[in-house]
Structure 1
């Protein structure tokens, strides 16, 4: 991390920039912390809120509530895009962190099915939907904010901190989940232990709100003060249709790769390779930590050499090497499995480090949050939310555990050709 530290030290107005980075970073920790703890405790939540004689049915219902959040992400994209473009990035960021914090707290105190019947399941789904709206606005609003406040030659590096916050949130959620499971019995976990990680999320939210409340605001587009009925999203479709399609194409691969590699493959290692679940989670945690280190380094290089080369390297690498990397993971050997997943992490970092700056630079200020939010969240809702399901379906239909690589390679190949149509945005003015 010495390279990252050097970047911060050499940045003008260091104290202001650190506050800006913290503002973008902290909200994503909360968003993805909640994402991780819900997934980690899904079997427990299934028993408590969606009870059934069949444990698998309960688990599927619990993940159904999880999926409901994905369906609401485009709604959040539209809502927070409008707020960010009309009222300012600061308002969007402050509202999004609170919209995640309140439902997370309520999940932590929610009565179970045994206490209030089916109402418990309905309330859980509703809270997950509200959280989905928040996620739909948080990530894109934060990276637009970060890129707009960055020195012109450090935009990719600043924007990458939204991704760093997301990975740190997942790592934090996994760590808290592991601690709770270690220090509680099965009975204690069902009775009260599962509530602790959700209630703890409020601490992160409080810090996030405090930091964001004092952040600087970028000036809004002058045309907004002149047109009361101005619709940023409508204008985005009118003036940036091509760029929105390009952004969606880039994020199609981003969504499929991330949710397949870092969400589905842990289960794949258990079900198809026969690895111990604890070992599979250890490998995934180490790979996520590696991703957290690789992303800012890739972003620093993208600031120096341009965004497009790293988008192309990442997409070409996934298209060409997915079969090889997945093949490495299809062994009863910790080192080989870890090598394969870290290989994926390195390729994901190449495009993940460049994407926030690229998307922000594609759009003009007056429509930037709306255009970025919609073009990012639609492919994540469609392709990200379904990626684990598609992967599991391919394995079942083909009978080949390595068939997942075909899907990864196909999506990455499509994205590669879409990236070829994108103009290099490094050095582009963000002012209208």
Structure 2
């Protein structure tokens, strides 16, 4: 197993090691602050997807409901395309200067933008400007959160006890992610169940965004209490080459491990196609096209989220036991078959929706619990934040952000079969490229 990228030299250690008790206390507080920010990011991204069918006629009015929904989902996807830019700008800052500053920028932008969406007037009040402002808000969120995944995963892998990396990353990038997803569907469920359908369409869809903004203020407070130098007091491993001197050095090092970067993009991208299909595409298809009962739709989506939360740590522990590469390969190949379950939901049927969301969604959840860990193992310490941030942002923007739009559009165009074929091909490609990278020594942790 390769442990360091070629040409990287070790940096001197100048800090006094922390005691076991100090590490334990610091690890707990950092886990809550890190995981809370990750959960908030996923809450805000998911809640927009869930509310797209309600905000679409208010911001993108049309005589065809599907046309309005596709416009709202296009804005949903556009936010993802800003993330690689944010990752490219903020990733090197996190690797070279301060993880804390980048995390504070990210969570603050998410909170403020969610609050703005909650009060933003629609087309009747502002005309086309309403849609433009909504697009700009999503782009700002994308820019600010571009490095969030990279920072959180880079720190989490160093907080993880040796030989328990999968379990710990399952907690941070599995359980906390799913808590965010679960919270978004739970809030949507309670709001929908508490008001009439007319009220939901008129204004109640704004409430989940207001909740996201309020939760963001809490996470801002928690992260403000973290030490400026996040890792040095608590990390369980002493990897060489902790930083690069300049931003140019960061990019040169990242280029030297470009095969790893490609693997990260595909590892992230394939599972995000499924994630956003199940959390945004299918619920919006149910609400906006098939006109299912929205309370039932959100209730079923919430149940799926519970399954994800409960199973995430066990999936990580399973990976620790059988080796991450084997667990990844097995679960990713199961995902290939899972994609074809989307073909079953081709007309209004809440029972079919339940089957696809719960049973297919369980397989998606298993993959969601593991992908961040696998992506993190592919990057050397010196550029881990930048590499994960850029790879994650490209994978999510190219594949995840477009997934709900493609699912709904292909269904509308009578070409639904193309979606599972597309998802399956990317999933298989992610396995192939990962194993090529592994064979060439580009797995740095845990295997």
Quick check: 1:236–1:371 contact (8 Å CA) kept in 2?
A: no
Change (3 A) 1:355 1:394: same
TM-score by length of 1: 0.83
Residue 147 of structure 1: how far off its partner (Å): 1.4
Change (3 A) 1:186 1:260: closer
User: Do residues 140 (structure 1) and 174 (structure 2) align?
Assistant: no
Looking at structure 1, the residues matched to 127 and 315 of structure 2 have their Cα atoms a distance apart, in angstroms, of 50
Change (3 A) 1:149 1:232: farther
User: Do residues 65 (structure 1) and 82 (structure 2) align?
Assistant: no
Residue 58 of structure 1: how far off its partner (Å): 3.5
User: Do residues 45 (structure 1) and 55 (structure 2) align?
Assistant: yes
| Structure 1 segment 8-407 matched on structure 2, within 5 A | 13-52=23-62, 54-160=64-170, 161-185=172-196, 188-189=199-200, 192-216=203-227, 217-219=230-232, 224=244, 227=245, 229-231=246-248, 233-267=250-284, 277-320=294-337, 322-323=339-340, 325-326=341-342, 338-395=354-411, 404-407=419-422
Q: Could you say which structure has the greater relative contact order, defined with CA pairs below 8 angstroms and 6 or more residues apart?
A: 2
Looking at structure 2, the residues matched to 305 and 180 of structure 1 have their Cα atoms a distance apart, in angstroms, of 42
Between 1:258-267 and 1:201-210, the stretch displaced more is 258-267
For 1:420, the equivalent position in structure 2 comes to 435
Classify the secondary structure of the residue corresponding to 1:423.
helix
Change (3 A) 1:107 1:158: same
Give unpaired runs (5+ residues) of structure 2: 1-20, 233-239
Looking at structure 1, the residues matched to 404 and 197 of structure 2 have their Cα atoms a distance apart, in angstroms, of 28
Count of aligned residue pairs for this structure pair: 416
Looking at structure 1, the residues matched to 374 and 149 of structure 2 have their Cα atoms a distance apart, in angstroms, of 14
Looking at structure 2, the residues matched to 388 and 47 of structure 1 have their Cα atoms a distance apart, in angstroms, of 17
Quick check: 1:331–1:337 contact (8 Å CA) kept in 2?
A: no
TM-score by length of 2: 0.81
Looking at structure 2, the residues matched to 243 and 139 of structure 1 have their Cα atoms a distance apart, in angstroms, of 16
Change (3 A) 1:232 1:187: farther
More helix by share: 1
Change (3 A) 1:352 1:180: closer
Looking at structure 2, the residues matched to 64 and 182 of structure 1 have their Cα atoms a distance apart, in angstroms, of 28
Quick check: 1:103–1:127 contact (8 Å CA) kept in 2?
A: yes
Give unpaired runs (5+ residues) of structure 1: 1-10
Change (3 A) 1:288 1:91: same
